[in-house]
Structure 1
């Protein structure tokens, strides 16, 4: 142990010394630029306002210095370590160009350029009397740039005047002044003025002014009207073209479903026009039914042009998935004024495709495995943009070490999914969303074989609908979902173990589940620059609800198979806060509640909740927590811990910090448990009660994530700090942490390797 520490200290010292000597590799007469510091001096600004302005200005300074961590520059060190490669390939070239980073030289710093840049920014923020200066400071062969800004008083908006003439454009602008971004009393900002011009342009586009542009609006600012105040006068430029001031209407709509870049084929195609409800479909042979365009197009001949219908039509055509490229073009008609012909050029995707996927799998129960899947896709099955996907898969999982070694898992199956880009229902849904409502039919089979234990065969099918209100809200309604599970090849070893642990019998029981389900999802996490973002998914799952009204027998069956009766509710709420450019705070609250009734004492096994694992409470192995304070006796189960419950509560909180390049670090705490709704004499302490908070498991840990752009590779190391199965008063185990003990590390440290964030 002592020897290891000495080696570690020597290695670290060598790295520090090498990093500090980066300047010796600089060209003769050059110095290393190590960054800039921007300071704002103004007593009239609050500290928070001053800091915000400093951060704003700091982001503008160029160039950016070499990446540093705690004063060290590892990427520059790697660049120097690799040296000059002799050829443009090989390990040295890769090390220098991919992992390394060339030195940022002080000679590349243009102080006056940065001064002008900072001065321009503060003036654009309303500090018209600002004074900005800067210089460089040398220390040895290192140079730092320092900039000082004295912004002075910030000018505020006193009055905003919109166009007052009698033109149609001025009328539309005045009708929307209540939504103006320019507010009396707010600080002057050039960025806000630009945003207001964009807003007015968007509003005019909604009212038929197809050729209008934000550049046709000028903002005149008068800073002499009062002390530290401005008046803003918005006008339409006198040199604005005539057609930009006119309202345009839709004339003919041409659709080319088989368009290619070959213009000759396009011109010949004009002789093959088929009219359908106002649309002119141009193609030699019918590749897609014209009814599809009736459901996707928001424009009709005679409509006033507006940008919303323009974008919605394009988005719907893209969301069909049938077309590889979607382009459109508006052209003025030669014979009729203020009319636009619309052309949609649709380049089809390959109708059929096949994809082969090979996945590596790992979980916190020390199982490793792989899965091979083959996916066949038809993007236009019945010439109505229907998509049929058939997937066949097979794989295995083995535990290379541990008590479950030898109990390998093999699985294979096939899934089919047919999606119609419309609602197939006795009712009609009119949606203004850019996303087409869809009807989905699924059918699947899976066989899972656990060596030395049993085989489970699962048959499932569903019929339902998917639709999105907008980019944030999505609904999924399964009118019916049927699942049938049957077991076979159950070994004597498993049956003997099930005699001692009756809950194991539930795994191999026949299960028949049928009924509707509904889920709603809201998320605005795509707004990356927003400080607070949310994700919410709520679900309701019902089984045999209608049948249960007519049969209350405990032995109710269909074709000799007892069917499950339950109500299951799930609520998943996530909150993300952007602390600054490099740090985020992620939180999750998950609540699941199952109410078994009728002939069910518990939820069916495949519908129950589980806790622990890579995306749950990471300090515990998958499915190893609870239910409640129950814990099976040591060595009572030689299989994978597989504890489940009817109720679940879980809370997670994680700080995510970008360290450098593609590397991100995290600190997290997870808490939660599962419980049964009813008493189970074989599992004392498993029932949900008013003491549920005292039965919460807690784990903490740290992680490293690699953002490879196409995926996030995550490694988390966690340990439990609260064990719900210990006697009351002894469940917190923080005082028992002993990193120096090999036995403690083996029993408490859990490493999770996964892809993607846990939530």
Structure 2
């Protein structure tokens, strides 16, 4: 037997001894007569039930039993162990209290289990699922101060629906109910299921709410089950209106007046009534839609309510317009609380007034932010932002945001002579809650469409190298079809970059590099951009997706009309600045799978290409793709990977330069698990690279080719996530498994891993510190 095998045996025995000691220690603290409850099991005795149905019923029943036993991990109960070893604290704070009641867990005893109550739960649940005349018993098995409860269920045969009848009468509401029968959830041959019956009542209620029956309730419907009219374990269902249904619930209501209080404050309410009179004589009428607005100070233009309101005088009430109006008022962004009330104004003609009580948010806010940061390129820095927001700039719920900022990054290690960075700038953005255009844009979405206008300037100084002045501006529209689909169209997106103070030192460094020279060239980029986002990650599903596609078309129409062709010497300029012409598309697809409440798998694929043509031979540096870093391939430092098999070690020593490309492929996978409350762990793997579409003599191997698969970089690692609700602090430790700039055939680095070598650790273990998840 070799030494390695002996080590494994010793490790196994040690682990077994510790497990046994912890297991035994959890019961030695019990008092005389107490027994630790280890859980329950349900056994189903019925050979006529299929294995699948029996398995599902067993799982559902066991999940409904109470209480739950102490949490366990591979047969151990570490939380209970910490509870037992910790002394009773004198105060409800301090380490002892945290260890015993926060990290630890109080023992669940057999005496805490109401076995008769659980037996009744099993019987009731079974009958609600169609297993009529179910019977249950239980038995308790105990050993070594531990006890387990076994419940035995004899469910009988499951009853199925043989017929569904909707009772008829002469009332208006019954007539509307009968129109809904073709979409019933109660299908012939399906098992009797109380949950499905409840869903059917809610479906009918929702549909009646669409027809004006505002005061109707699902409890006004009764579904009678008769198992005596049919044989072979069948049941007949009779759906009807309860005899004691209030008359108000049977009536269709229409809208009389629509009244808006845009400055509502709960302090103005006395004895349940608003202090401002609500009769029509005291209200100022606005618009042809008869909307009344109580706004003595005229803080808001009336037209914003005309756009948000979907209820008009004389409309039949329906829940869809009710919810749509509330959602649009909230999405204006200027109201903190939105409350809605309906008050009967004419009981004979079945009319009510709709009141909207709106509490404004703080109209103006000023926020100062200061932060520190580090990155994997051996830079540390700080940034200060001053932000001013006005949420009702022109009294039409327009949001105006202005900010000024300053930032610096200094070298704290790594290559010698890397130069420090300084940035300062200002931005202004106006967001108008409507589409400002020469055409009509109607949206029935719950989300208010917006017109966005932005302007910005940034001064960037890289000491001893160059200074850049960047001006930006955009005009476009943002709208959502629904909660899942969003469109962002910038009709015009302009970037103008002009260099200043390019030093002889930088000129000498960039003399033999076209890529470096392009960084300090004047650039004019303009054109439309469009992005489409689809996501259902907000839904409670085990499988969800996120997709964002972006299209960027720069200088296309101008290049076409001017006949620009840089390859034929026909480079065109605007104000003596050559404009960029290219097409760029990027796709970001993510898939999330939940294994359970505490474990999940997240994957992401990014694919993009930017193609220069006409007036450009190359993509502007700021519009290219980058790879590496905390949100990309984490085993490589930020923006140092690629392009292709280009070896970054050939770059002049002491000069750090972002590597960029025109093509990007990236695939990420991350397994996430919750360890304890705010503490989460992840195991991840990343793969991908960037490439150029044209040859670059200064960067051999950078062009995308049919051999691109051999140039894919691979990295893997582990990470911790500290989820504090308001922010998530992420620490990822990664190492490269495949390095694309090594010799072909020797790019896999698995045989080079040596954790015991300090120089290997220094060169290959990359720690990424970031805020939020990478995807």
Fold shared, TM-score > 0.5 on shorter chain: yes
> For the Cα contact (< 8 Å) 1:543–1:565, is it kept in 2?
yes
Confirm or deny that 1:226 pairs with 2:225: no
Confirm or deny that 1:275 pairs with 2:279: no
> For the Cα contact (< 8 Å) 1:269–1:283, is it kept in 2?
no
> For the Cα contact (< 8 Å) 2:345–2:353, is it kept in 1?
yes
Confirm or deny that 1:64 pairs with 2:80: no
Q: How many residues align?
A: 756
User: Which residue number in structure 2 is paired with residue 236 of structure 1?
Assistant: 241
User: Which residue number in structure 1 is paired with residue 269 of structure 2?
Assistant: 263
Q: Of 318, 322, 330, which aligns to 1:306?
A: 318
User: Which residue number in structure 2 is paired with residue 589 of structure 1?
Assistant: 605
CA deviation profile, 1:332-362 (whole Å, cap 9, x unmatched): 1146521011111111112111223333434
CA deviation profile, 1:410-458 (whole Å, cap 9, x unmatched): 3332221111111111011111111111111111122333344433332
1:214-363 to 2 correspondences below 5 Å: 214-224=218-228, 225-261=230-266, 262-263=268-269, 266-268=274-276, 270=278, 273-277=283-287, 278-334=290-346, 336-363=348-375
Q: CA deviation at 1:500?
A: 4.1
| More deviation, 20-29/281-290 | 20-29
User: Which residue number in structure 2 is paired with residue 487 of structure 1?
Assistant: 499
User: Which residue number in structure 2 is paired with residue 83 of structure 1?
Assistant: 87
Q: Of 546, 555, 577, which aligns to 2:593?
A: 577
User: Which residue number in structure 1 is paired with residue 481 of structure 2?
Assistant: 469
Q: Of 157, 164, 182, which aligns to 2:186?
A: 182
Distance in 1, matches of 2:179 and 2:143, equals 61
| More deviation, 741-750/303-312 | 741-750
Q: CA deviation at 1:526?
A: 0.4
Q: CA deviation at 1:683?
A: 1.6
Confirm or deny that 1:724 pairs with 2:740: yes
**Alpha carbons of structure 1 residues 97 and 455: separation in structure 2 relative to 1, 3 Å:** farther
CA deviation profile, 1:606-625 (whole Å, cap 9, x unmatched): 11111112121222222122
Confirm or deny that 1:659 pairs with 2:675: yes
CA deviation profile, 1:142-163 (whole Å, cap 9, x unmatched): 3333334344433222222223
CA deviation profile, 1:484-521 (whole Å, cap 9, x unmatched): 12333444443333234432222222221111111111
| More deviation, 387-396/446-455 | 446-455
Q: Of 529, 534, 550, which aligns to 2:545?
A: 534
CA deviation profile, 1:673-693 (whole Å, cap 9, x unmatched): 111111212222211122222
Q: CA deviation at 1:10?
A: 9.1
Confirm or deny that 1:397 pairs with 2:409: yes
> For the Cα contact (< 8 Å) 1:531–1:577, is it kept in 2?
yes
Q: CA deviation at 1:389?
A: 1.1
**Alpha carbons of structure 1 residues 140 and 495: separation in structure 2 relative to 1, 3 Å:** farther
Q: CA deviation at 1:47?
A: 4.3
Confirm or deny that 1:52 pairs with 2:60: no
Q: CA deviation at 1:79?
A: 3.3
Q: Of 146, 149, 154, which aligns to 1:145?
A: 149
User: Which residue number in structure 2 is paired with residue 419 of structure 1?
Assistant: 431
Q: CA deviation at 1:219?
A: 1.0
User: Which residue number in structure 2 is paired with residue 380 of structure 1?
Assistant: 392
List gaps (5 residues or longer) in structure 2.
Answer: none
> For the Cα contact (< 8 Å) 2:692–2:703, is it kept in 1?
yes
> For the Cα contact (< 8 Å) 2:160–2:191, is it kept in 1?
yes
User: Which residue number in structure 2 is paired with residue 750 of structure 1?
Assistant: 766
> For the Cα contact (< 8 Å) 1:248–1:304, is it kept in 2?
yes
Confirm or deny that 1:119 pairs with 2:123: yes
Distance in 1, matches of 2:762 and 2:49, equals 56
Distance in 1, matches of 2:20 and 2:651, equals 50
**Alpha carbons of structure 1 residues 612 and 380: separation in structure 2 relative to 1, 3 Å:** same
SS state of the match for residue 527, structure 2?
Answer: strand
> For the Cα contact (< 8 Å) 2:418–2:654, is it kept in 1?
no
Q: Of 100, 106, 111, which aligns to 1:102?
A: 106
Distance in 1, matches of 2:259 and 2:610, equals 54
User: Which residue number in structure 2 is paired with residue 611 of structure 1?
Assistant: 627
SS state of the match for residue 173, structure 2?
Answer: helix
SS state of the match for residue 606, structure 1?
Answer: helix
Q: Of 687, 690, 703, which aligns to 2:719?
A: 703
Q: CA deviation at 1:140?
A: 2.1
| More deviation, 379-388/679-688 | 679-688
Q: Of 681, 686, 689, which aligns to 1:673?
A: 689
**Alpha carbons of structure 1 residues 579 and 158: separation in structure 2 relative to 1, 3 Å:** farther
Distance in 2, matches of 1:272 and 1:692, equals 75
| More deviation, 402-411/189-198 | 402-411
Q: Of 433, 456, 464, which aligns to 2:468?
A: 456
Distance in 1, matches of 2:201 and 2:416, equals 66
> For the Cα contact (< 8 Å) 2:415–2:653, is it kept in 1?
no
List gaps (5 residues or longer) in structure 1.
Answer: none
> For the Cα contact (< 8 Å) 2:551–2:584, is it kept in 1?
yes
**Alpha carbons of structure 1 residues 517 and 12: separation in structure 2 relative to 1, 3 Å:** farther
| More deviation, 417-426/631-640 | 631-640
> For the Cα contact (< 8 Å) 1:20–1:72, is it kept in 2?
no
**Alpha carbons of structure 1 residues 406 and 292: separation in structure 2 relative to 1, 3 Å:** same
Distance in 1, matches of 2:258 and 2:16, equals 70
Q: CA deviation at 1:330?
A: 0.3
Distance in 2, matches of 1:668 and 1:429, equals 45
**Alpha carbons of structure 1 residues 359 and 318: separation in structure 2 relative to 1, 3 Å:** same
User: Which residue number in structure 2 is paired with residue 520 of structure 1?
Assistant: 532
Distance in 2, matches of 1:220 and 1:450, equals 79
**Alpha carbons of structure 1 residues 223 and 612: separation in structure 2 relative to 1, 3 Å:** farther
| More deviation, 699-708/632-641 | 632-641
Distance in 2, matches of 1:376 and 1:8, equals 62
Confirm or deny that 1:511 pairs with 2:519: no
User: Which residue number in structure 2 is paired with residue 544 of structure 1?
Assistant: 555
CA deviation profile, 1:214-254 (whole Å, cap 9, x unmatched): 00111111233231322222111111111211111000111
Distance in 2, matches of 1:531 and 1:119, equals 29
SS state of the match for residue 53, structure 1?
Answer: helix
> For the Cα contact (< 8 Å) 2:417–2:654, is it kept in 1?
no
Distance in 1, matches of 2:253 and 2:498, equals 64
Cα-Cα RMSD: 2.8
**Alpha carbons of structure 1 residues 84 and 450: separation in structure 2 relative to 1, 3 Å:** farther
**Alpha carbons of structure 1 residues 415 and 17: separation in structure 2 relative to 1, 3 Å:** farther
TM-score normalised by length of structure 2: 0.91
> For the Cα contact (< 8 Å) 2:523–2:579, is it kept in 1?
yes
Q: CA deviation at 1:366?
A: 4.4
> For the Cα contact (< 8 Å) 1:163–1:173, is it kept in 2?
no
TM-score normalised by length of structure 1: 0.93
Q: CA deviation at 1:93?
A: 3.2
Distance in 1, matches of 2:702 and 2:147, equals 65
> For the Cα contact (< 8 Å) 1:461–1:482, is it kept in 2?
yes
> For the Cα contact (< 8 Å) 2:640–2:648, is it kept in 1?
no
Q: CA deviation at 1:33?
A: 2.6
Q: Of 430, 435, 453, which aligns to 1:441?
A: 453
Q: CA deviation at 1:27?
A: 4.7
User: Which residue number in structure 2 is paired with residue 33 of structure 1?
Assistant: 37
